[in-house]
């Protein structure tokens, strides 16, 4: 097997049939990976804290966010959203604490099916999952809420 780096055309190619094992991160610097076939992959998670009623979802860190509701969320924001023309997804699991009754104020950028905003389950220890995607750099997030996982 040979691994060939073509500096003139900035291409990397492999000949032979053996797998390539990478022992470190690969950084693509916003370049394409065409026609990947993924098997047994995971998504990176980041657990944001509620600070003064605010939760910030930093998309440089992850796209999946478990949020423990230990207080009401009055401001939910996203940061480092890739630019317009990119399909970007987020998934947030909201888990009520043992007290329950916690709420989340949805940002105006969240657009809901039929225009009806989702309402979180408020029972103690309830878990709801919000899925959303944007194609305009986070100006608009198309979101759905699946409630009361047990």
DSSP string over the chain = -EEEEETTTTEEEEESS------S----TT----S----S----B-----BTTEEEEETTT-SEEEEEESS-BSEEEEESPPPEEEEEEEEEEEEE-SS----BPPPTTEE-GGG-------STT-EEEEEEEEEETTS-EEEEEEEEE-
Task: Give the per-residue pLDDT at 59.
Answer: 97
Average pLDDT (122-135) is 98
Chain mean pLDDT for the chain: 90
Please give the pLDDT value at position 30.
77
What pLDDT is stored for residue 21 in this prediction?
76
Checking if the pLDDT of 142 tops 60, the result is: yes
Question: Considering only CA atoms, which of 136, 127, 105 is closest in space to residue 118?
Answer: 105
Q: What is the pTM of this model?
A: 0.84
- If pLDDT is split at 50, 70 and 90, which confidence band does 8 have? low
Cβ neighbors of 126 (< 8 A, separation 6 or more) are 95, 96, 100, 120, 147, 148
Query: How much of the chain exceeds pLDDT 70, in percent?
Result: 88
Q: How many residues does the chain have?
A: 150
- Average pLDDT for residues 111-138, to the nearest whole number? 97
Q: What is the pLDDT of residues 59-90, one digit of tens each?
A: 999 999 999 999 999 999 999 999 999 999 99
The model's confidence at residue 6, banded by pLDDT at 50, 70 and 90, is low
Greater confidence, 143 or 34?
Answer: 143
Q: Give whichever of 4-18, 33-47, 50-64 has the largest mean pLDDT.
A: 50-64
Do residues 140 and 109 touch, judged by C-beta distance below 8 A?
yes
């Amino acid at each position: 097997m040979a691994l060939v780096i073509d500096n003139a055309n900035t291409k990397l190619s492999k000949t032979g049939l053996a797998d390539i094992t990478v022992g470190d991160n690969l950084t693509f610097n916003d370049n394409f990976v065409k026609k990947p076939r993924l098997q047994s992959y995971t998504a990176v998670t980041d657990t944001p804290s509620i600070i003064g009623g605010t939760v910030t979802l930093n998309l440089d860190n992850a796209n999946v966010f478990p949020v423990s509701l230990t207080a009401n969320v009055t401001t939910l924001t996203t940061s480092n959203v890739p630019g317009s023309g990119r399909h970007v997804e987020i998934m947030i699991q909201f888990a009520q604490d043992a007290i329950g009754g916690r709420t989340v104020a949805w940002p105006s950028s969240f657009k809901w099916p039929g225009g009806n905003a989702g309402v979180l389950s408020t029972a103690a220890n309830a878990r709801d999952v919000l899925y959303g995607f944007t194609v305009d750099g986070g100006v608009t997030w198309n979101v759905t809420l699946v409630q009361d996982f047990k």
